[in-house]
Amino acid sequence: MAAAGVTPLLPGLLAGTAHAATSLRTGRPEFPLVRGGFATDVFVDAADDPAVLRAAGDLQADIERVGGVRPRLLDTVPEQAAQLVVVGAIGASPVIDGLIAKGRLNVSRVKGSWEASVTQVVERPLPGVDRALVIAGSDRRGTIYGIYDTSERIGVSPWYWWADVPVEHRDDVTVPAGPFTRHEPSVRYRGIFINDEQNLTTWSHRTQEPDKNIGPETYKRVFELLLRLKANYLWPAMHPYSDFFNKHRENPELAEHYGIVVGSSHPEALLRNGVHEWDPWAAEHRNTDGGLPVYDYTVNPAVISDYWRARARQNATYESSWTLGMRGLHDTALETRYATTIPEKVVVMNDIIADQRRILAEEVGQDAEPQIFIPYKEVLDLYNAGVQVPVDVTLIWPDDNHGNMRQLPNDEERRRAGGNGIYYHLSYWGRPKSYLWLDTTQPAKVWQELRRVYEHGADRMWIFNVGDVKSIENGLSFAMDVAWDVNRWHADDAGDAGDAEGVGGVEGFLVEWAGRQFGHRHGHEIAAIRTEYYRLAAELRPEFIAKGLLSVVHHGDEAGRRTTAYEQLLERARTLGAKLPEAYRDAYFELIEYPVHGAYLMNLKYYWADRNALALRQGRGAGTNRFADLAEAAHTTEAALTKRYNTEVAGGKWDGIVNPYPSQIPKAPGRPAVSRVARQETSGLGVASEGNETGTARPLSFFSGTRDRRFLDVFNTGFLAASWSAEVSHPWVLLSESGGSLTEQTRVWVEIDWDRAPEGAYEATVTVSGADAGQRVDVPLSVRNDGERARRWRRGFVEAHGYVSIDAAHTDRRVARGGARWRTVRGLGRRSGAVEAVPSTAAPVTADFAARAPELRYRVRFSSTGTFPVTVFRLPSLDERGHRRVALCLDDQPVTVLSGQSVATGNRGDAWARNVEDGVERLTATVTVTEPGEHELRLFMVDPAIAVDQIVIDTGGLPVSYLAPPESYHPMFNPGR
């Protein structure tokens, strides 16, 4: 294991420890948990909470996992002990309270807090005990988190079971003497929603509980994982293919035993699962005419009220969260036969909430908290129209299902006693497209939205939709880390020196997290792999790919460049994986290699399918069928890779957990359709150059700044071998190959020898000829050489190829104004980072921009003049109570305000749908260049929290493509080769 660089975790390396936790190096000897083949006993007072007793058993097992020796778990203090681990909650453990009363344990920063703890070594704490490692929590969960902190420090990952992360064996197991203090979390309730859980249900039924579809044995594993991640809250599985949570009464009992708060999602009022429970209830409570009552409060209020009351009474003794309000059965819209207008429906919703509050007061009493109200979809419209939610109820604000918060609390809502929370998707099933298969949301995107949420006072409850739990390991870990300490990670603003918002950028989390799973020496490389994986997903989620979406002819083969990037990333992942010890291979496959490889294959098969479709249009022969074969081979490989995950990894432990195509998933990509042509005993020469679907009409464009290479495809129109040759008009035009014999096709790369090419603008030609007379195709080239001196000394971005393309983070200057500024968020967007206007609570600027609005400036050198379209690629954040605007101008010309989509409609094919599918919104304006030379493009904040990724100016003939064109030449940011 030492070869992998695996080392025990120190307190400063724990997720969520900076700010939320402190550790003091005292120089005192570390405390031994295992030494010389003997384990230190663990004491928990029998009077303590059962959840603490159970978690202490996990510490007992973790010590054995690391040291190979199982300590005794005691409920009485031994008469004599050299060392002892003492665990307990303040106010529940007489031993802990005694240490505090004697001044032996300092809990001044913990006592009375929510879920806080202190861990420290106390000398001679008790009669007969020489030295003790004391883990004391402010409450039961604070104590539990202190226990799991110790487990992490000795090298047990929270993902040891759920992702098969191995535990390094050590003969001597020690922890620092401390003290180590874990302060209150940033967010009080932090949890997950197991949703769209078809794969988890399949796996659970096959491997955990053959007689159930997610039951107590599965939930035990879920509860433990949540606690190890410092979470405390669960919305359980709720779909038809899963058993509803309260079907098995062990489930709520176990949740209480573990210390997990159980709530329910937006369509599941008062812990009732409408998918499974309403129909049997209705059958037992028929109408007087024998008919079945419908789930409509305007029709059957008494029956529905009794339905809710029964569950409130049944679960009254458990620590629960109570969802108020109402929607239709199985996540459908609210049904109100006798309330058809919005005002009428508002009255009905107010009556529903009053009824539910009365039920909770009568059946549960003062312990009926937290109570939450979730204005999801049509309920948000009713809330905004006047639904009266009691001030002690927590408002849970939903995102748009794609990671963009729709609406955040205003000043009045922030003052509510019940506070505010969020419901946020890391996984989603529904319109316009679903993403359930892989963890594909950039951590920087999650961080950006969560920071915005927190700054707006939504800090009472954060619930994350994690689908099947598996495949979301990294994203879930990060979300819980931010929920515990929202200030730990920051933007890592490379363009803003002295930024002290936290102790590390978002990529720092990836480094730390990967190091904790696979060894610290590999943390940076794995983080780099994950960062590029997320960047490619930000361009286009693998679940969103479709035929014809990416260009295979423009910008160096846009789709091909992505495929190559994935291929290189996979090679990088495999190279690192080969360096790990065998014990780490399963975890590495699950967490790193499978996501990269699976995403690559999904892209690859659609790439070959698009090449197949293009080949058919170009009249290719054998090559058309070759591309069809490649597309189907990629699909077959993808299926085999998933089968390996389900049947071979970890000895088949995860049978059924992964499926890129669960049934009924809307708009899921699958096996792309391909076409084949009948074999003909002919041959013929065809040529298509970059920028042209067919033929060579659009010249290949070259510029000395970016030193591009371009391609031309030489192909056979038949199936018999054909000879070809290529000649260049100038010796400084270079070809990757100049002739041969081909049956299918070959791609020829064209470059310029800039050391030999004369300065100025030139036209050149590549002539491709076949063996038969008359088979000759001229490929035109447009070459511009500004010379080496200009290349080195020019400032700013340089127009070429008919466009200027700018990564928004690559600014010449930034100007902060009015208490607001632009910052770079690294790892956000389609490139290395995007710029965001902060703080998110800043006031909009709608006039006098040059004096009042924070500004970004870009130097641009134009060779053309005219009025040109400008596209600003912004990340599609929302504000349904406001606007999403940015402004721009060239030099000192009038400013143009660009307005983005601020409302999530939920409809396929509209502007919002396009934005979330693409991950960007394209805002357009024009600028006028009156004379060539250097100019300044200026971008102003109008609304805060708007993020800009790229800016493209079309100076003539920019082809339509899915992605922005490659960044233009810039001597600092894109100096070429």
For residue 343, what pLDDT band results from cuts at 50, 70 and 90? very high
Residue 431 has pLDDT above 50, yes or no: yes
* Separation between Cα atoms, residue 439 and residue 460, nearest integer Å: 25
- Are 775 and 684 spatial neighbours (Cβ–Cβ below 8 Å)? yes
| Spatial CB neighbours of 66, under 8 Å, sequence gap ≥ 6 | 33, 34, 154, 155, 156, 167, 168, 169, 170, 173
What are the strands, taking DSSP E only, across 433-501? 461-467, 489-490
Q: For residues 956-966, give the mean pLDDT.
A: 95
Helices 594-618, 523-539: inter-axial angle, 10-degree rounding: 40
How confident is the model at residue 663, as a pLDDT?
76
CATH, residue 858 = 2.60.120.1620
Q: Is residue 1 part of a domain?
A: no
- Structural domain including 321 reads 189-486
The answer to whether residue 356 scores a pLDDT higher than 60 is: yes
Under 8 Å between Cβ of 765 and 778 = yes
**Region 931-951 average pLDDT:** 98
Helix (H) or strand (E) holding 916: helix 911-918
Q: Which helix (H) or strand (E) holds 67?
A: helix 50-67
The single residue listed with the structure tokens 């890592």 is: 492
Whether the pLDDT of residue 539 is over 60: the answer is: yes
| CATH number assigned to the domain comprising residue 416 | 3.20.20.520
689 within some domain: yes
What is the model's pLDDT at position 667? 66
> Among all chains, which residue has been given the structure tokens 């319109």?
431
- If asked whether residues 764 and 807 sit together in one domain, one would say no
Measured distance CA(798)–CA(406) in Å, rounded = 38
Indicate the range of 19-28, 85-94, 543-552, 623-632 predicted with least confidence: 19-28
Do 589 and 613 share a domain, yes or no?
A: yes
Q: Using one digit for the tens of pLDDT, what is the confidence trace for 791-818? A: 778 899 999 999 999 999 999 999 999 9
Domain boundary among 182, 197, 220: 182
Please, which residues have CB within 8 angstroms of residue 419's CB and are 6 or more apart in sequence? 188, 394, 395, 457, 458, 459, 460, 461
Q: Which residues pair with 192 in a beta bridge?
A: 234, 464
Q: CA angle, 129 as apex, 128 and 132 as ends, to 5°? A: 170
For the stretch 197-249, pLDDT in tens is 999 999 999 999 999 999 999 999 999 999 999 999 999 999 999 999 999 99
Nearest C-alpha neighbor of 275 from the set 225, 327, 316: 327
- One domain, residues 732 and 750: yes
Give the Cα separation of 308 and 324 in Å (integer).
10
Q: How far apart are CA 805 and CA 414, in angstroms?
A: 41
266-306 pLDDT, tens digit each: 999 999 999 999 999 999 999 999 999 999 999 999 999 99
One domain for residues 884 and 781: no
* pLDDT surpasses 80 at 374: yes
192: nearest Cα among 163, 214, 146, 225:
225
Q: Is residue 610 one of the residues assigned to a domain?
A: yes
| Residue 139 lies inside a defined structural domain of this protein | yes
Task: pLDDT band for 575, please (50, 70, 90 cuts).
Answer: very high
Q: State the Cα–Cα distance between residues 117 and 119, nearest whole angstrom.
A: 7
Asked if the bond preceding 660 is cis, omega within 30° of 0, the reply is no
Assign residue 37 the CATH number of its domain.
Answer: 3.30.379.10
Of 423, 361, 363, the residue nearest 392 (C-alpha)? 361
pLDDT of residue 794: 84
In this structure, the answer to whether residues 285 and 403 fall within a common structural domain is yes
* Residues 55 and 148 reside in one and the same domain: yes
Residue 309 lies in a domain: yes
Q: Strand 504-505 relative to strand 933-941: parallel, antiparallel, unpaired?
A: unpaired
Do 557 and 410 share a structural domain? no
Rounded CA separation 178/121 (Å): 6
Q: Look at residues 444, 601, 436, 589 and name the one whose alpha carbon lies nearest to residue 531.
A: 444
pTM across the whole model: 0.95
808 and 785 both lie in a single domain: no
Pairing of strands 813-815, 855-862: antiparallel
pLDDT of 450: 98
The two three-digit tokens of residue 303, written as one number:
């029956």
Residue 662 is predicted with a pLDDT of 80
State residue 6's pLDDT score: 37
Closest CA to 860 of 850, 848, 868: 868
CB-based contact 486:188 (threshold 8 Å): no
- Other Cβ atoms less than 10 A from the Cβ of 344: the count is 13
User: 705, 804 in Cβ contact below 8 A?
Assistant: no
* Angle at alpha carbon of residue 822, lines to 820 and 824, rounded to 5°: 145
**Average pLDDT of the chain?**
94
In angstroms, rounded to a whole number, what is the distance separating the alpha carbons of residues 177 and 161? 28
Instruction: Count structural domains, the chain.
Output: 5
Asked if 891 and 929 touch (Cβ cutoff 8 Å), the reply is no
Residues 141, 239, single domain; the answer is no
Q: Closest by alpha carbon to 952, among 833, 824, 858, 826?
A: 858
> Does residue 119 have a pLDDT over 90?
yes
Find the range with the poorest average confidence among 53-67, 660-674, 937-951: 660-674
| SS3 (DSSP) at 568 | helix
User: pLDDT digit string (tens) for 500-529?
Assistant: 344 468 999 999 999 999 999 999 999 999
CB 477 within 8 A of CB 446: no
**126 and 207: one domain?**
no
Residue 676 lies in a domain: no
CA 6 to chain centre: 26
Concatenate the DSSP letters of all residues of 508-534 into one string: HHHHHHHHHHH-GGGHHHHHHHHHHHH
Residues 571 and 636 grouped into a single domain: yes
β-strand 420-425 against 461-467: which pairing, if any? parallel
Domain-ending residue, one of 756, 791, 826? 791
Q: Are the CB atoms for 247 and 218 separated by under 8 Å?
A: no
pLDDT digits (tens, 9 = 90+) for 862-913: 999 999 999 999 999 999 999 999 999 999 999 999 999 999 987 878 999 9
Q: Is the pLDDT of residue 22 over 70?
A: no
Domain limit, last residue, from 467, 486, 505 = 486
| Percentage of the chain modeled with pLDDT above 70 | 95
Describe the crossing of helices 473-484 and 443-455 by its angle, rounded to 10 degrees.
30
Helix, strand, coil % (nearest 5) of the chain?
A: 30, 25, 45
Beta bridge partners of 467: 194
Could you tell me if residue 771 is inside a domain? yes
CB neighbour list of residue 803: distance below 8 Å, 6 or more residues apart: 952, 953, 954, 955, 958, 965, 968
- Nearest by Cα to 441 from 457, 424, 462, 458: 424
Q: What are phi and psi of 844, to 5 degrees?
A: -60, 150
Per-residue pLDDT tens digits for 725-779: 999 999 999 999 999 999 999 999 999 999 999 999 999 999 999 987 678 999 9
Is 833 in the same domain as 886? yes
Tell me whether residue 562 is in a domain.
Answer: yes
Peptide bond into 666 cis (omega under 30): no
CATH number of the domain where residue 583 is located = 1.20.58.2150
